[in-house]
Amino acid sequence: MAGNSVTGGGRPPLFATEKPARMAAYAYRLFASTIFAGVLLIWLYRATHVPPRSSSARRWAWLWLSAAELWFGFYWLLTLSVRWSPVYRRAFPDRLSQSYKEEQLPGVDIFVCTADPTLEPPMLVISTVLSVMAYDYPPEKLNIYLSDDAGSVVTFYALNEASEFANHWIPFCKKYKVEPRSPAAYFAKMTTPPDDTSDPDEWCTLKEMHDDLIGRVNSVVNSGKIPEVPEGIRGFSQWNEKTTSGDHPSIVQIRVSSVISNSPIIMNVDCDMYSNNSGSIRDALCFFLDKEQGQDIGFVQYPQNFENVVHNDIYGNPINTVNELDHPCLDGWGGMCYYGTGCFHRREALCGRIYSQDYEEDWTRVVRKTEDVDELEGMAKSLATCTYEYNSLWGIEKGVRYGCPLEDVITGLQIQCRGWRSVYYNPARKGFLGMAPTSLLESLKCGDTAAEWWNAQRMWLLRRISSYLLAAIDTIRRMLGISESGFALTAKVSDVQALERYKKGLMDDGVWILHHDVRDYCYSCIAQP
């Protein structure tokens, strides 16, 4: 790969932008040109073989086929233009340490988002929280927020229990440089003390503490009742018998953090995407803090990767082709999308600032400190209320855009329209791992097997004739004002038998569920006026 190196004021660059080798680029362009030539020949054939008007059926068939081929050609041109010039990013965290002292590094506000304690179990949530708490970063500059859209007291209880475990887990991680730093993921892979552990008893004690934590939390999840309110924890008083997932106290939002920590960098991650790389923050900061190339970077997006995908996955869950090919190509145009998780934002960009060349970030700014906890709590609650947003720009030009299921993508596009660039960073060690509910040549190049490619094609076919078709119909109904958009969570817990079938490569079609989903959808279409 060919890379660029920009040096300003004798300071080495904190990241490099590399292009693929020339031979690989020429080979792809030759391949793309042959496909385009084939498309042009098909268009030429259609234009020179128009059926006579006397044959109505043939003429209609010709019209529909021509329209489909014109659309395919247009789609191919768009794809070709995007894929013409991919770029790959490389960060230099060692240079970051040489250029900036620890006290000069910016604070980072991390938001972990969850929405349903049933589909997203509390143990899953707190494992992700613990993984980001254990980042290789000055702890006084880390601020972790859990945004629970379900307002679950069970999740709050689990978080409180995890805070005690964190006092032992985080020092252990930093002492032995543990990876990954999600306790659930770590102990699932390490069933016995590793060889580099100087004190095996310490490892065993920590493992027992984690098992006890799982037992206590799962017991509360199953019973739905908090056994005893811990002394000194006032938060439990916010719940009563009238509290539901649809009617609960306000959740933590971006603007709330402005009166608590107000860090220049905001990172958000879904509760099922734990941190797999303790150096991800420093890697991301290489892009923001580069004096020559980082002034206009609005956000750094990490790819989505999954840990529970088996070899030759039958459901087409791996997105290696997208991560290794499509996203670097989007990055080449400065237009990498924001996907709602695993993303580091510049606070000013996310809160609506328009980029200008004379803008200079104050990375060491801090929020006004207050000793009055009640005053701070009152300000935070005021900012969190829904009424605060009335007649304001929040949800329109500030923060995450409201009003559509793809609010994250729309938010990213708005940031780019204000003059900010986005960066896609895909390190060798994946930054985040989650749970999962082209061409053969491209798939093989990206590390897929032929069987994985074939399974992906099968799933594309199923999606096109089922979910995509229903989604298109639903979009038309929504545009006509017949229905409203909604958001559905995928379950993060698996049936044991279904998991075994998945590992064996047997498809669990869920016929009963599919039958009732389609029936209910059709009924809703008929029932609504």
Cα distance between residue 349 and residue 342, in whole Å = 17
To the query of whether residue 362 is one of the catalytic residues in this protein, the response is no
Q: Quick check: is 519 in a domain?
A: no
Whether residue 165 is found in the same domain as residue 69: no
Q: Is the pLDDT of residue 495 over 60?
A: no
| Residue type present at position 373 | V
Task: Kindly report, residue by residue over 240-254, the tens digit of the pLDDT.
Answer: 666 665 555 555 567
Whether 126 contacts 48, CB under 8 Å = no
Of 145-154, 156-165, 284-293, the poorest mean pLDDT is in 145-154
Cα distance between residue 51 and residue 254, in whole Å = 61
Whether residue 39 is found in the same domain as residue 134: no
Q: Quick check: is 252 in a domain?
A: yes
Whether 18 contacts 425, CB under 8 Å = no
Task: Kindly report, residue by residue over 340-382, the tens digit of the pLDDT.
Answer: 899 999 999 999 999 998 888 888 876 656 556 777 777 777 7
Q: Quick check: is 8 in a domain?
A: no
Helix, strand, coil proportions of the chain in percent (round to 5)? 50, 10, 40
Among candidate residues 400, 424, 448, the one where a domain is terminated? 424
Q: Quick check: is 154 in a domain?
A: yes
Please state the pTM of the whole predicted model: 0.79
pLDDT average, residue stretch 149-154: 86
Q: Quick check: is 325 in a domain?
A: yes
To the query of whether residue 149 is one of the catalytic residues in this protein, the response is yes
* pLDDT interval class at 203 (50, 70, 90): very high
Q: Quick check: is 490 in a domain?
A: no
* pLDDT interval class at 526 (50, 70, 90): very low
Q: 457 or 276, which is more confident?
A: 276
Q: 401 or 309, which is more confident?
A: 401
* pLDDT interval class at 228 (50, 70, 90): confident
Whether residue 63 is found in the same domain as residue 169: no
Among candidate residues 365, 392, 424, the one where a domain is terminated? 424
Active-site entry in 290, 331, 408, 448:
408
The residue range of the domain holding 156 is: 94-424
Looking at the structure of the chain, the number of domains it has is: 2
Whether residue 34 is found in the same domain as residue 123: no
Of 92, 70, 173, 81, nearest to 130 by C-alpha is 173
Cα distance between residue 124 and residue 495, in whole Å = 16
Whether residue 36 is found in the same domain as residue 134: no
Whether residue 58 is found in the same domain as residue 165: no
Of 67-81, 117-131, 196-210, 441-455, the poorest mean pLDDT is in 441-455
Does 149 show up as a binding residue in the annotation? Answer: yes
Whether residue 69 is found in the same domain as residue 101: no
Q: Quick check: is 360 in a domain?
A: yes
Whether residue 56 is found in the same domain as residue 145: no
Whether residue 209 is found in the same domain as residue 152: yes
The H-assigned helical ranges of 143-279 are: 153-176, 183-189, 200-223, 254-257
Whether 184 contacts 123, CB under 8 Å = yes
Whether residue 196 is found in the same domain as residue 75: no
Task: Kindly report, residue by residue over 431-461, the tens digit of the pLDDT.
Answer: 999 875 544 454 445 555 666 666 666 666 6
The SS3 of residue 386 is: helix
Q: Quick check: is 477 in a domain?
A: no
* pLDDT interval class at 516 (50, 70, 90): very low
Q: What is the CATH number of the domain that holds 202?
A: 3.90.550.10
pLDDT of residue 527: 46
Of 305, 283, 304, 287, nearest to 296 by C-alpha is 287
- Side-chain-side CA neighbours of residue 44 (13 Å): 6
Active-site entry in 116, 149, 474, 508:
149
Among candidate residues 85, 103, 133, the one where a domain is terminated? 85
Whether residue 214 is found in the same domain as residue 326: yes
Whether residue 359 is found in the same domain as residue 383: yes
